[in-house]
Structure 1
Amino acid sequence: MEQLPRFAAWRFVDAVEGFEVVYTAPGELRGHTSAVEDGKPYAVHYAIHFDEEWRTREVLVSTDTVAGALGVKLASNGAGRWTVNDQPRPDLDGLMDIDLEASACTNTFPVHRLPLAVGETVRAPAVYVQALDLAVRRLEQTYRRLDADRFHYTSEGGFVAVLRYDESGLIVDYPGIAVRFA
């Protein structure tokens, strides 16, 4: 894959009204989202640090809602052991990727970390952080490579989509969720 651009931006569609902007640097994604979902506004800021193999190592997420501001810190040893706010979370053992509800960008981690051949399917459960309350839980998901830039994606609860990526591995089209415009 090509090097990530210095920044990218998405417009949320259908399920949520809003946008996301991410800034990239080697080993880091820093982003912001602002959205309204079901009449509930939120603004999320995140900083994700990852190693050269695209394994998530540290994540700082803050959200601001009408109820007030919250923050959470997640850390991984790179081998699937996690802490949340410095407390061990054995329920997250074995997970390698972060998936932020407020972000289209975080679906880039499995695509970079797991070089799949066309037709290959992989389970890629992730540590999932909800936007409004920053609740942290396991999210079951799969990716099947359809061709050079498209993956068939499923997640628990029956969500299914064909995700389209650019040559750097960032989402271009996430049907029903987001469309990249920069």
Structure 2
Amino acid sequence: MIFTSPPETAAWRHHTARTGFEVVYFQPTQDGHLIEGRTTAVEEGQTWAVGYTIEVDAGWRTRRARLTSRSVAGVRETVLESGDPGSWRVDGVPAPHLDGCLDVDLESSAMTNAFPVHRLRLAVGAGQDTPAAFVRAVDLTVERLDQRYTRIPDEGRRQRYGYAAPVFDVACRLIYDESGFVLDYPGLASRVDLQPR
């Protein structure tokens, strides 16, 4: 099944691991999409807010991400750029530890779990390792995150994936809507129903 075009906007309520809310806006560009969002949350008794602007190409590979984080520690900003697929610069400095990553995965965001699903277009039963440039919420530290997506049988018109990130001891099932955005991320976030305009 091919995903439909992204909605104009989407939102997620974060729960269990943190209390918070994420709102995102999608805008088509000549060769992909511009995605702008913000998450505000309370986690382990501390507040933080992360704003992001992410550019993806027509194949949903991340080309550029500009991030801003605000917490009691102050304001932080960082920019990730991918010139050649799988080659990264963080704040203009080459980041070889991210070689082979095609996606940005934000700790603060449920939306970024859409990138590998759109890009890979896995058949039911297929799986693939897809490391990501993982950005921490508070200090915007960028790490390599080894993870795997495995497509499992659909639930009606909704695609389902087994997701594993061994470094975090995470193994769960993610459910996506027809446009390829996660509806339920166990222990992290659930999509909020929005009224059509």
Q: How many residues align?
A: 182
Q: Which portions of structure 1, spanning 4 or more consecutive aligned residues, are displaced by more than 2 angstroms?
A: none
Structure 2 partner of 1:2: 4
Q: Amino acid of the residue matched to residue 165 of structure 1? A: Y
- Which residue of 153, 159, 164 corresponds with 1:154? 164
- Which residue of 21, 24, 34 corresponds with 2:23? 21
Q: 1:78 offset after TM fit, Å?
A: 4.2
Q: 1:79 offset after TM fit, Å?
A: 1.4
Write the mapping of 1:40-79 to structure 2, written as runs, cut at 5 A: 40-79=46-85
SS state of the match for residue 59, structure 1? strand
- Which residue of 142, 147, 150 corresponds with 1:144? 150
Q: Amino acid of the residue matched to residue 167 of structure 1? A: E
| 2:102 aligned with 1:96 | yes
Write the mapping of 1:92-171 to structure 2, written as runs, cut at 5 A: 92-148=98-154, 149-155=159-165, 156-171=167-182
SS state of the match for residue 72, structure 1? strand
Cα offsets for 1:135-174 (capped at 9, x unmatched): 0010010000012311000002310110000000001000
Q: Distance in 2 between matches of 1:157 and 1:15?
A: 13
| 2:180 aligned with 1:180 | no
Q: Distance in 2 between matches of 1:150 and 1:77?
A: 31
SS state of the match for residue 168, structure 2? coil
Cα offsets for 1:44-95 (capped at 9, x unmatched): 0000001111110000000000111000000001411100000000111111
Q: 1:40 offset after TM fit, Å?
A: 1.3
Gaps of 5+ in 2: none
Q: Distance in 2 between matches of 1:166 and 1:24?
A: 15
Q: Distance in 2 between matches of 1:147 and 1:4?
A: 22
Q: Distance in 2 between matches of 1:79 and 1:179?
A: 31
* Contact 1:123-1:143 at 8 Å conserved across structures: yes
**Percentage of pairs with the same residue:** 47
What is the TM-score when the length of structure 2 is the normalising length?
A: 0.91
- Which residue of 23, 31, 38 corresponds with 1:32? 38
Q: Distance in 1 between matches of 2:45 and 2:25?
A: 28
Q: Amino acid of the residue matched to residue 190 of structure 2? A: V
- Which residue of 86, 90, 104 corresponds with 1:84? 90
